[in-house]
Each structure stands twice: as structure tokens, then as C-alpha cells.
Structure 1
Amino acid sequence: MAVSGNTSSADGGVSLTSKTPILGQKLYVIIAVTVIIVTVGLLLIFFLIRRNLNSKRRRTMRVKHSSGLLPLVSETINDESMERASKVSLFEKDVDEKEEIKPIVEVVVTNSGSNESGTNRSDGASSSMSAENLSNLGWGRWYGLNELEIATSNFAVENVIGEGGYGIVYRGVLRDGAVVAVKNLLNNKGQAEKEFKVEVEAIGKVRHKNLVGLIGFCADGAKRLLVYEYVDNGNLEQWLHGDVGPISPLTWDIRMRIAIGTAKGLAYLHEGLEPKVIHRDVKSSNILLDRKWNAKVSDFGLAKLLGPEKSHVTTRVMGTFGYVSPDYASTGMLNECSDVYSFGVLLMEIITGRSPVDYSRAPGEMNLVDWFKGMVASRRGEELLDPKINVQPPSRYLKRVLLVCLRCIDMDANKRPKMGQIVHMLEADDFPFRTESRPPRDTAAFRAGEDAASKAPSMD
């Protein structure tokens, strides 16, 4: 006998077509709806979990341009990632460094800026540095291009505070009121990305009172920008060679403070970091000054890193005419001694108020180094002083500083003192006029400097 679809089955079970108390719906409808709800719920949970994981993985590389939100701050880099960054391809050494040293080295120098010949990259290649790579470095903060455009009034001409071969520097005010310096790198044959990489690697993690701090960066398409702390009193070149009147605001004491601060900044790069940083473009326009005349070394676009296992790197000769050491110019071998020579020229510039090369002067005075050495050899050291210095320093102190200059520009690079030793030389009251019979406790380079001082002509 057939059983109705609305009745129980013969074995006492419930038919799928039986009506249920739930809205009077049949059982198979209730089961189907339940399966659909459970499936949708599981899919939704899976989607939310996956999205949360992806969001965490990408949180340091997301920059929102249209929303106006501040970009995320990437995490502080640790020692392990610092070591890895020095080895991986993101900041590889130039191809030129792997080449053998040749008798003739191409010299690319300028009088007013640091111009390095660009590599044969197209503009599009500059976008190869992705946001993911940079955000993983953990150096500084990622800024959106729109935020920096607003900060600089769309890179207005009236906000320009500096200009060189690599880019233009603008004064900017961020949304929180902080004043910064924004360097907009010029993308000449991919040069913008090259300097971008070098500066981020060289000073991205460095914090020193005599080095300009890198606050953050921006990479948007082919655009490359660097954001620095703002130093509000111009650069040393402007104060030495600008129109400051018959009496310079840079007194002898202020000049020595600037020289010592610069030496301390370079000493930190050479001796306080691993790998050490060779600045390669030490000059007066790259020494920024604050309102208290504290020096801050800037512009690391030509810097090179030198690991502990290396005594030098071989590269194309870069720098500014008049500051480049002869040994580096002739061989292309770069190490700390190259910066020491450049600092010696800078110190001469601070003392004399003259440019390293000045074609407006008499033939024997065009080259600052040659003229300086000739004046010292002729025992006319006091005539080297900038005539705009109102109060001359004590003769004893002047002699000491002149001898430091001569040591820095020694033609034998191995006899030049280290930057840390130069700091002590400039600060010590008794050096180099020691009366003790015991030898100095410093290194061989320091002792070599003592010997050079004893052989130098007297300036009494």
C-alpha cells in the first residue's frame, strides 16, 4: 500500500518531503538552506583570515595617495637585515668596481656640483626599486608624492634652498608642522635611482650630530625624493665666499668649531660604522651649518661602503675639482685617505677664505694647495689667514692647524692621519709641541705625522 508524501515512512523515519515546524517548510528545503548558510559562512571566515594575513604582509608597503592618510612607518632595521642589505643586490657595488685598475682612469669632476656620468639605464629602469624592497629596509619613513608636493607648495621656486648636479633641494613644511629639506633627484640616465640607493644605504640608519639626518624617502614611478632634517643657516661655502661684508661672521673660533665638527662627522663614518662609509665629496658646499655654527656633513650621493676585509674599493674617480686627492685621481683606488685629503683642502679653505681653485688669482695662487704649501715653506704662515677674520688666533694655535693641513695632504696617502686622530690634533692644546720624552701612544700613522711635523719648516 502506497504511503503519502506527507506521512511517515514504513520504518518510522521522516520523509524528506515531510513538513517541518520551521515556517511549514519541507525538510529537504530546510537541509538545503542550512548547507548553503554553513558553506557561505565558512567561505567568509576563510576570506577574512586570508585578507588579514595579506594585510599584515603588505602593511609596510601600502601608501595611500588619495585618502590623505599618513603613510605607515616601517619597522626599525635590525643588525641581521643591515648585514643582509650590504650583501644583496639592492645596493650592489658599481660594475666599475669589479674591473681591474687601469693606468688611465676616467676623471669626472665639476667645479660647482657632483656630477657622475650616468649608467646606461633608461628612465623606466629607475622604477625597478619597488616599494616592497624599500619598505623592508626599515630606514626612515615612506612619504607619498602628494604629501611632499603639498609640503613644498608643488616644488615652488621660492622654496629652493640648494641646487646641484643631482637634484634640487626644497624647503618643505609637513602636515604636522615639521620643517624638512626635500631633495628632488634629477633622473639623468637613471642617476636618480643610483644616488637614491647610495644615500639610503650610506646614512639611512646613521644618527650623529655632525651628519645630516635622513628622515624619509619617496619613490613614485620614476620620481625619487629624499627627505632630510632641515638645517637653517646655509652652508659653509656661502659663508666663506659669499658677500658677508668686510668682516666675516666666521671668527677663528667659529671656523675651528666647524672644522672639528666636520672632522667628527667624517671620523664617525670612517671609524664608527660597519661597513665604513667613504664620503668621496667632502667640500664646503656640503657642510651645512645651524644657528649655533654646528657643522653637519651632507650629500652622500657619491659615498661608497668599505667592508672590514677591504683596504680600498676600485671605482671611477668622482668628486669636485680641487678637492680630489692625487692618488685617488691617478689610480681610482678609494679609501679613507681620500676623504682625509679632501678634508685637508677644506681646512685650508676655512683658514684662508679662498676656493680650492680660483682662476681669477695670479698664476702662482690659482691652486690653493700649491700656494698654501709654498707660503708655509717660506715661513709666511700668518699671511695665509683670511683677511676677513677680525681677531687673529694665537700664533701657537695657528701653527698647529697649519701642520694638520700639511699632514692631511701628504702625497703619501699612508702617512695621512686618520680622521679620529685629526679630531684630537685640532682639540689638543699641547699638540704637536710635546715636551715629554716618552713616545706617543697612538698608531703608526700618528707617529708618522709627528715625524712630518718635526721636519716641517719653522714658522717663527
Structure 2
Amino acid sequence: MSTKSSSFIKQLIKPFNFSFSKGGRETEDLEKIAANEQKQFSFETLAQATRNFHTDQKLGQGGFGPVYKGKLKDGREIAVKKLSQTSNQGKREFMTEAKLLAQVQHRNVVNLLGYCLHGSEKILVYDYIPHESLDKFLFKSENQRRLLDWKKRFDIISGIAKGLLYLHEDSHECIIHRDIKASNILLDGKWVPKIADFGMARLYKEDKTHVQTRVAGTNGYMAPEYLLYGNLSVKADVFSYGVVVLELISGLKNSNFNLDPDSSNLLEWVYKLYKNSNSLEAMDKILTPSAIPEQVALCIQIGLLCTQSDPQLRPSMRRVVVMLSKKLGTIEQEPVAPGILGTRFSKGYKPNSTKEGSSVFSGNSSSTSNSNTNTSTHTNTNTVSTATTSLSGVANSRKDPHGKRPVSGH
């Protein structure tokens, strides 16, 4: 990308303030990006590539609209994201993704090939990722999990870390994804992970420690300080990454964990095993023939460090990438007990009020709002799009219970 192009996009994207005013302003912005990046596709080209958007070519349906598989005349396979005409939330997410992905390019981030504007139609075009999303292999069936041996899983853990490091520190602007989860990690033909679905992402100013924002994410992956107080920093992505790491190792999903009646979630269960020096018992048994025990144990320690309740104790993604190259026993930092999901308190903390210590997640799904679940390629699934009244009330009426300054982003 040229210096002129980068400068244009920096001016175009106003940090934390994507406006979607009536009158076609968002269309004008998208036209400018498409023209400047020279990534324009004609509607006729995409219609032909997708057999006129035939239902047989449909990969999935998200809040933004349908996604189709297509094939260009030069043989390239593409994924075509078509904006629904009726979804205001989808429009916001669509435009956010278009603007952010215009400025990023990394091996572990999904590649946006271009744009199409045709009358009221707004379309984004991506590389097609043949193995689709990680959750389809990790949570669907034992046969699917067997396709992910330890080498593949370790490479996925490392690849996601490198992609997040790029977004947080090495891209034109610091980008917080806000919805890192297994269904938003795509796997290409060589099992290389690609971070996808940037509809909820936010830019992050370097002179701020965190931003206050509307809560958006997915049950089981959101950091406690973000879910409860709306405090967003890069450490929220670190927490989500840690959850994905522990899911990859165990083959279990955090949001519906029920293996141990004495553990309310996957993180607590793995931590108990870790403290009893039995962390390898958390490993998916399918991995036994291919696993490197020391490497698995190292990744468990890193996953627990990333999911600590206090964001200041979580490592940066740069530190995570370094730790993944280390040997077991060379990382001095020990994880503390995970906090209660939905709070910033550790399990040993006894608040004055039972309300203050209660978990937003535990046994009460009504405290978060989910969109329709659909685990299809290039779509956001089971996503919390708005903060509930009770959650926002708690966030606005209480100060940080630790009495600390806002958390550091790095």
C-alpha cells in the first residue's frame, strides 16, 4: 500500500467515531476507499462468479446479510459478503469492516480483495478460505477434531497470536478486534489461521489507556472488565485469545462447559488442574499420539496467563509471541485464579453486597443479548451486540472496585 494511500485512509477513518449518517455518506466513503485502493469489482463480475447469487453458493448468513462462494474467471475462489438492505446493525458492522480491512495486510488476517457498489447494493469480496472456521473442527464431532493434530493446533495458537500482535502494535492504527473466538478464526488450505469478522473492531489511540464503549462480543470470550464496566483495551483481545488457546487444547467450549460440576467454566477447571500439577489432564485425548507434552503444558500456562481477571496481569500479544518460543519452566510468571466471569473479582474476594460479587454469566443468560446463532463461514455468531440495562447501570454507577487507574493497553 502506498504512503499516499495510507495517509488517505488514516484521514478517512476517525478513531472511535464511525458515523453512519443518512443520505449516503457511508456509500461515499466506501466509493472513495474502493477508488483509492483500486480494488473495485463490477456487480456483473460477482453475479457471474456466484451464479447470480444462487442459494447453492450460499456459505452462511450473518447480521449484515448473506455470504456466497464464488469463482472468478482467473480461477480464484472468493467469498462475497452482501449487505442486507434491512439491517442497520449490519450496515454499521459492514462499513467498519470495509474501512479497517482497507489498511491491514497480514498472513494471519483475512484478506479483503475489494468492493462493489451497484445501486443500493454494497458488497465486500474476500479470499475464500477452504477449511472455513475453527469451531467447525473443534466442537462439531470427534472425527472433525481428529483432523487437528497437535502440530496444527500449536501452529493455529501461534498464528492467531501473530495476527493479534500485528493488529495491536504493527498495523497503521492499533485495532482491537473485540470478538476473537473460534468461529472468527478461518483456516486456509494449509491450516494457516486467519482472523476474520472485523465488524465490531475499534481503533485505539496510543495516548489512551482504555476507551469506554458499548459492550459487544460473545459469551465465554469477553474479558470481565470489559463486560462489566465497558473498559476496552487490547487486553480484552488477550483474554479472548487465552480462552481460544484453552479451547484448542481441551477440545471443549468455554460457554457450555459442564465436564466438572465443581468448576463453573473451562478456565476454572484448567486452573485447578494446573495448580495440582495435572494440567495435561485438560488436553483433548485425541491429541495423545501427536502431542509434545512440554509444549502443551507451556500453552496451558500461557492460556491461563492471558485469562487472568486483572488485565494488568495479562501479557501483551508481543510477550505471548515471545513466550510461545520458550521452553516450559522458563516463564517465571505464574497465573492467579481466574476471576468470576462478568466481574473483576477473584473467587476469593468477598464483597459487602451479594449483588456486587455476582457473575453476569453464571446461570443467567438474560443479562446478555445474543443475535441468531449461525456458525457459517465469514459470519459473526452468538454475538452480544448491546449492553443490557442492568449491565450498563452497574457500569455507570460503580467505580473500579480495585480503585486502580484505567488499565494499560500494552
- TM-score normalised by length of structure 2: 0.75
Give me the CA root mean square deviation: 2.8
SS in 2 for 1:194: helix
Structure 2 vs 1, CA of residues 311 and 188 (structure 1 numbering), >3 Å: closer, same or farther? farther
Candidates 251, 256, 274, aligned match of 1:353: 251
- Distance in 1, Cα, partners of 2:60 & 2:4: 30
Alpha-carbon distance in 2 for matches of 1:425, 1:214? 30
Aligned length: 337
> Sequence identity of aligned pairs in percent?
32
| Structure 1 residue corresponding to 2:131, chosen from 227, 233, 238 | 233
2:333 is matched with which residue? Answer: 451
**How far apart in 1 are the matches of 2:51 and 2:2?**
29
C-alpha spacing 1:76/1:149, structure 2 compared with 1 (3 Å)? farther
Whether the 8 Å contact between 1:425 and 1:432 is mirrored in structure 2 is no
SS of equivalent to 2:216: strand
Relative distance call for 1:384 and 1:215 in structure 2 (3 A) is same
Change (3 A) 1:392 1:175: closer
Counterpart amino acid of 1:84? Q
After superposition, give the CA deviation of every residue in 1:335-380 in whole Å (9 maximum; x if it has no partner).
Answer: 1000000000000000000011116656445622222222223332
Alignment partner, residue 135 of structure 1: 32
2:235 aligned residue (337, 340, 350): 337
Verify the 8 A CA contact 1:247 1:389 in the aligned structure 2.
no
State the partner residue of 2:209: 311
Which one has more relative contact order, counting CA pairs under 8 Å at least 6 apart? 2
Q: In 1, Cα distance between the equivalents of 2:172 and 2:94?
A: 20
Q: CA deviation at 1:199?
A: 0.9
Corresponding residue for residue 83 of structure 1: 10
Amino acid corresponding to residue 41 of structure 2 in structure 1: Y
- When residues 396 and 286 of structure 1 are mapped into structure 2, their CA distance, relative to the original with a 3 A threshold, is same
Residue 195, structure 1, aligned to residue 195, structure 2: no
Instruction: Quote the offset at 1:219 in angstroms.
Output: 3.0
1:222 shift after superposition: 3.8
CA contact under 8 A between 1:131 and 1:219: conserved in structure 2? no
Alignment of 1:408 onto 2:294: no
* Shift in Å, 1:147: 2.6
Closer, same or farther: CA 375–186 of 1 in aligned 2, 3 Å: farther
Q: 1:309 to 1:323 in 2, by over 3 A?
A: same
The amino acid of 1:297's aligned partner reads I
Structure 1, 383-392 or 207-216: larger mean CA deviation: 383-392
Asked if 1:93 is matched to 2:20, the reply is no
Equivalent residue for 2:47, pick from 149, 159, 179? 149
SS, match of residue 288 in structure 1: strand
* Deviation for aligned residue 1:247: 6.6
The answer to whether the 8 A contact 2:139-2:145 is kept is no
Shift of 1:278: 0.4
Runs of at least 5 residues in structure 1 that lack an aligned partner in the other structure: 1-73, 96-118, 435-449
SS of residue matched to 1:344? helix
Given that 2:112 and 2:126 are in contact with CA atoms closer than 8 Å, whether structure 1 keeps it comes out as yes
Letter in 1 for 2:31: L
Residues 42-441 of structure 1: pairs in structure 2 closer than 5 A: 77-87=4-14, 93=17, 125=22, 127-131=24-28, 134-136=31-33, 138-139=36-37, 141-245=39-143, 248-358=146-256, 361=259, 363-364=261-262, 367-391=265-289, 393-428=291-326, 430=327, 432-433=329-330
Quickly say closer, same or farther: Cα 1:454–1:190, change in 2 above 3 A. closer
Aligned to 2:403: none
- Measure, in 1, the Cα distance between the counterparts of 2:257 and 2:329: 34
**Change beyond 3 A, Cα 1:172–1:365:** farther
Change (3 A) 1:371 1:209: same
Q: Is the 8 A contact 2:136 2:144 kept in 1?
A: no
Q: Deviations over 1:182-218 (max 9, x none)?
A: 1123344422331222112211121111111111112
**Contact 1:235 1:289 (8 Å CA) reproduced:** yes
Q: Tell me, in whole angstroms, the C-alpha distance in 1 between the residues paired with 2:233 and 2:105.
A: 22
